[in-house]
Structure 1
Amino acid sequence: MQANVVPPQLLPKIVTFALLQLSIASTIGIISNCELAFAQTGDGVYGTWSDSPDKKTCNVPLGSSPDVATIYKISQKGIFFYEIDCAPRDLAYHNDGIDFELDCFKGGGARWFEKASARVVGASRITLRFSDRKPPIGSGSRVETLYRCSSVSITDTERSKAVVTEWRHNGSVMSLSEEGSNLEIAYMQPRPGILAVGVRAKTTLFLGQRDGVQVEGTAYIFHPNCGPIGYQVKGQFLEGERALYLTGMSPRMTPSCEVGKEVPEALRFERVH
């Protein structure tokens, strides 16, 4: 059998075609790497933003009244604006932005779960859509167009280091953070059964204060449709502070996320480390 022989006059065309294919593959690879880099860092979304295109409003202090403009700070730690501080429960990176599942607190004690989607729509412009708030409020989703404050650098408020210990509660591993008289108990490793109601690692279960061994504050229940619902508890450290026992009247929610009734609730925590 005679082998096929490429005519000499076709060799230049074949070489040119092969080089073209290599160039296309290389370009696709560069684009993919850029998309991957964004997916890993979120550089197009993270930063300080204003809801006004007037760059002078970027000088409005973070947390000030939104009458002139609202300043947003977006990072891997979450989304902060006005008096609202939203910590991420989950993050999903995309080629054009980031999806957040948030655990939000507002001055005055309000708390809720919410979703947010940030999408890059220009060199220094993003849209930020909030939706699926639990407990529900208002008309549902809302969208803000934000403009980057490139010259503004806002640092997080410095906090003294809290003392963190590990505890167990009802099948979950918890962290207890103590800073002065302030206490926070959060999930480290939630038991599988409570994931369906929105609990994730770092979700806060209790916020309060201690006075000696006495403790009081706000604990939360978690509802699949209503999100986190707070109620007052009090109790004390026991067994040489190896155990913490809290009691209160826990709300039971109606389908419309109103309190239907209250039932006695007891929370027991046992220290691991």
Structure 2
Amino acid sequence: MMGWKNRAGVFGLFVACMLALLASGSAAHAACDSASYDHNGSPMDVHVCDGRMVIEYDRPRSGIADQGVRPGTVLFRGRIHDLAGGARIDGRAHVFRRGCQPASFGVVGWMDDSGVITMEGRAPVRRSGCSVGGYRKVVLVFEAR
């Protein structure tokens, strides 16, 4: 099956089928797919199944790997909702710091009809150590590979 990330028409069909399955309550015929994306120089795996979306690191670039991120580390977990011309996304993203548990924060965003994923939120800023000293606005962008 062709990945939904490459063609807007396929993406629209994918989301429509996924929502139809959810409405029918048929978990046995769930629409699931995966695609490869890039985020700040790190290859990412995007998984969508039953309206849920998970984005995890495939091969973390050295800067984020230095913070303890490994292949399979989840950056985002949430939901994707069908809209004309794309999809709305909401859920929780994470920031990482070596020696600390990931700090999660709420994000909202969208996938446009070309497949680019953009999310915005207020990420925790860590003080020395692992405590949170404030928050800053972040924009996370994922582009199809």
TM-score greater than 0.5 by the shorter chain: yes
Does the 8 A contact of 1:198 with 1:227 survive in 2?
A: no
- Give the aligned partner of residue 252 of structure 1: 125
Per the TM alignment, residue 256 of structure 1 is displaced from its structure 2 partner at its CA by 4.1
1:161–1:189 distance in 2 versus 1, CA, 3 Å:
farther
Aligned ranges 1:38-187 → 2 under 5 Å:
162-187=32-57
Does the 8 A contact of 1:250 with 1:262 survive in 2?
A: yes
Per the TM alignment, residue 162 of structure 1 is displaced from its structure 2 partner at its CA by 3.3
Matched, 1:200 2:70: yes
Per the TM alignment, residue 163 of structure 1 is displaced from its structure 2 partner at its CA by 0.8
CA distance in 1, matches of 2:46, 2:100: 25
Gaps of 5+ in 1: 1-157
1:161–1:236 distance in 2 versus 1, CA, 3 Å:
closer
- SS, match of residue 58 in structure 2: strand
Q: Larger relative contact order (C-alpha < 8 A, sep ≥ 6)?
A: 2
Does the 8 A contact of 1:165 with 1:177 survive in 2?
A: yes
- Give the aligned partner of residue 140 of structure 2: 267
- Give the aligned partner of residue 58 of structure 2: 188
Does the 8 A contact of 1:167 with 1:271 survive in 2?
A: yes
What is the TM-score with the length of structure 2 in the denominator? 0.73
Deviations 1:132-187 (A, max 9, x none): xxxxxxxxxxxxxxxxxxxxxxxxxx9x6831101011000000000011000001
Does the 8 A contact of 2:31 with 2:50 survive in 1?
A: no
Matched, 1:231 2:105: yes
Give percent identity, aligned residues only. 29
- The aligned amino acid for 1:236 is W
- SS, match of residue 106 in structure 2: strand
Per the TM alignment, residue 257 of structure 1 is displaced from its structure 2 partner at its CA by 2.0
CA distance in 1, matches of 2:88, 2:114: 11
Per the TM alignment, residue 202 of structure 1 is displaced from its structure 2 partner at its CA by 0.8
Residues paired across the two proteins, number: 113
- The aligned amino acid for 1:216 is D
CA distance in 2, matches of 1:210, 1:162: 12
CA distance in 2, matches of 1:180, 1:241: 21
Gaps of 5+ in 2: 1-27
Please provide the CA RMSD for this pair.
Answer: 1.6
Deviations 1:9-54 (A, max 9, x none): xxxxxxxxxxxxxxxxxxxxxxxxxxxxxxxxxxxxxxxxxxxxxx
Does the 8 A contact of 1:173 with 1:190 survive in 2?
A: yes
What is the TM-score with the length of structure 1 in the denominator? 0.40
- SS, match of residue 227 in structure 1: coil
CA distance in 2, matches of 1:241, 1:249: 26
